[in-house]
Amino acid sequence: MTRDRLCHAEGGASFAEVLVAMALTMIGLAGAMGAFQAAERSLRTGTLATRALAMAESRIEAKRAARWDRLLLDDLNHDGVPDLVMRDDGAGGDVLAGDGVYSGSWDQDGVHLIWTVTPSRSGSLSASGHVFLEARAVYTAGEGPREVRVGTLRANPRFVGSQ
């Protein structure tokens, strides 16, 4: 009998032990899959945030580099031909028609970009000593809409150095 008992003890794992091992493995795999999904969602949100910031900064730099008389024209595809004329019409990113704030907007890769040019004097842009340039990039993350804002002042070269 000792010999039969010895052979039976070396027979391997029981069915219950195999089920417990499989259940623990499945719980571990489910946790790992959840972690990968959370990491992917975080990476997607970070990518959108980076894209939104880059688009806003790019639009501000394009406005800073533009000639003063072409400040309200935008060449979005960089082919040398203006694609958009900024307006003070209460549409797009402009809050109120006739308020002196010129705006333009553009959608690309999940980001809605709105940029504005606000002269220091209402009326003619050429009579303003400076303008406030602002770009807002809106994107949707898992928690809802998010926004990135970038702004700067730009002096009218006609008035630079004069008193």
Extents of the domains making up the chain: 2-155
For the chain, give the mean pLDDT.
86
Q: Give the model's pLDDT for residue 51.
A: 93
- In this prediction the pTM is 0.73
Which of 106-110, 114-118, 121-125 has the least mean pLDDT? Answer: 121-125
Predicted confidence band of residue 163 (pLDDT cuts 50, 70, 90): very low
> Each residue of 29-47: pLDDT tens digit?
998 998 888 888 888 888 8
The two beta strands, 84-85 and 102-108, are: unpaired
**Closest C-alpha among 108, 116, 114, 117 to residue 156:** 117
Quick check: 107 and 93 in contact, CB under 8 A? no
What mean pLDDT comes out for the span 68-91? Answer: 86
Measured between alpha carbons, how far is 101 from 95 in angstroms, rounded to an integer? 8
What mean pLDDT comes out for the span 17-23? Answer: 92
Sorted by sequence, the CB contacts under 8 Å of residue 94 that are 6+ apart come out as: 87, 88, 101, 102, 103, 116
Q: How far is CA 114 from the centre of its chain?
A: 12
Measured between alpha carbons, how far is 139 from 116 in angstroms, rounded to an integer? 18
